[in-house]
Amino acid sequence: MSFMDGVLLTLLNTAACLVLPKLLSVIFGTQDQGESAT
């Protein structure tokens, strides 16, 4: 079970790292339009 828990945690961390920046960029992108363009 510990191996599967580690795999699930790794997948969750990877998904969070990939999805959260996109969500933040969308949220802040809609709030300030073009002010902080990267």
In the numeric block, the tokens 């969308």 are attached to: 26
Task: Please give the pLDDT value at position 16.
Answer: 92
DSSP label at residue 20: H
Q: What is the mean pLDDT of residues 25-30?
A: 80
Q: What is the pLDDT of residue 6?
A: 95
Please give the share of the chain, as a percent, with pLDDT higher than 70.
79
Give percent of the chain with pLDDT exceeding 90: 47
The pLDDT assigned to 27 comes to 80
Mean pLDDT of the chain: 83
Contact 36, 28 (CB under 8 A): yes
Instruction: Kindly report whether the global pTM for this prediction surpasses the value 0.85.
Output: no
